[in-house]
Structure 1
Amino acid sequence: MRRTLATTAALALSFTGLSMATAPGAFAAPEAAAEYGCPGTLIDTYNTPATGEVWAQLRLYYSSANGGTNCAVLLAKKYYGTTHYMEVGINISGSSNNKLDYGAYKYYAGPVSVTSTNGHCIDLSGAEDNGGVWAGRSLNRVHCG
């Protein structure tokens, strides 16, 4: 009976466009890009470690639209649900046209995207600050294609 009620509640929420809340620190990170505003599908994930812990995860999506579109978001993990500084950036390697999103967020920063990426590599970065302690990661010349 309990399982039936839980299933019914989950279905009711999905039909209304709502979702069930996750516990603090939970990693609510679906592979569907639409929830974060990115076109395409998930092609890679990169953890952003600090002090031996994973604070967040950079997620990279790709769509063949517009000559290739790469899109990124930075999802909070350690401080999920707590407002803190987050930033995510993406650009075509060698370009000075960096797309950046930053601010005080609870769940994720982004999306940021670049188009015409077919035949090019991309640079990707993400960082968080909580109380003066930084966690971040920069990747250069990844997903060349």
Structure 2
Amino acid sequence: MRRTLATAAALTLSFTGLGVATAPGAFAATAGASEYGCPGSLIDTYNTPASGEVWGQLRLYYSSANGGTNCAVLLAKKYYGKSHYMEVGINITGSSNNKLDYGAYSYYAGPVTVTSTNGHCIDLGGGEDNGGIWAGRSLKGVHCG
């Protein structure tokens, strides 16, 4: 219960723009949207860094179904295959209805999906914790349309 509340609070803070800055890096995962349970096409990727090292990648997908559907997953890179805490969240900017997925995962967190996104911006965040070190990323007001 404490972890759940802490996660919701941390992700809410990340949606307000208090997240970790980005770092350069590449991510080699090639799986398609359907492998992660997201409808639509990949529209953007965002690395999740800690101390200049890329730990994972947020992936954002879009489908025109249901008035616009955005879906997100967080893929592990540094700790790929090793169970560790991961979280991903998405919502329509200005909404308090955050869609969250979190827990101990080895490969990815998510998918999380919001609908009726046409004409709105998206807030997106995610991160990983391993041994008390946090790697994360938050974006506010992206992919407006």
Residue in 2 aligned with 1:113? 113
Q: How far did 1:106 drift?
A: 0.1
Q: Secondary structure at the match of 1:34?
A: helix
Structure of greater relative contact order (alpha carbons < 8 Å, 6+ residues apart): 2
Q: How far did 1:133 drift?
A: 0.2
Deviation string for 1:120-140 (max 9, x for gaps)? 000000010000000001100
Letter in 2 for 1:67: G
Q: Which runs of 5+ in 1 are unaligned?
A: 1-26
Could you tell me how far apart the structure 1 residues matched to 2:79 and 2:120 are?
Answer: 34
Matched, 1:75 2:80: no
Could you tell me how far apart the structure 2 residues matched to 1:32 and 1:40 are?
Answer: 10
Residue in 2 aligned with 1:140? 140
Q: Which runs of 5+ in 2 are unaligned?
A: 1-26
What is the TM-score with the length of structure 1 in the denominator? 0.80
User: Number of aligned pairs?
Assistant: 119
Deviation string for 1:63-116 (max 9, x for gaps)? 000000000000000000000000000000000000000000000000000000
For 1:116-131, list aligned pairs within 5 A: 116-131=116-131
Residue in 1 aligned with 2:57? 57
Task: Indicate the percent of aligned positions where both proteins have the same amino acid.
Answer: 86
Could you tell me how far apart the structure 2 residues matched to 1:30 and 1:120 are?
Answer: 28
Which protein is bigger by CA-based radius of gyration? 1
Deviation string for 1:2-47 (max 9, x for gaps)? xxxxxxxxxxxxxxxxxxxxxxxxx662252000000000000000
Residue in 2 aligned with 1:29? 29
Contact 1:31 1:42 in 2 (8 A): no
What is the TM-score with the length of structure 2 in the denominator? 0.80
Alignment RMSD, CA only?
1.0
Q: Secondary structure at the match of 1:42?
A: strand
Could you tell me how far apart the structure 2 residues matched to 1:107 and 1:57 are?
Answer: 11
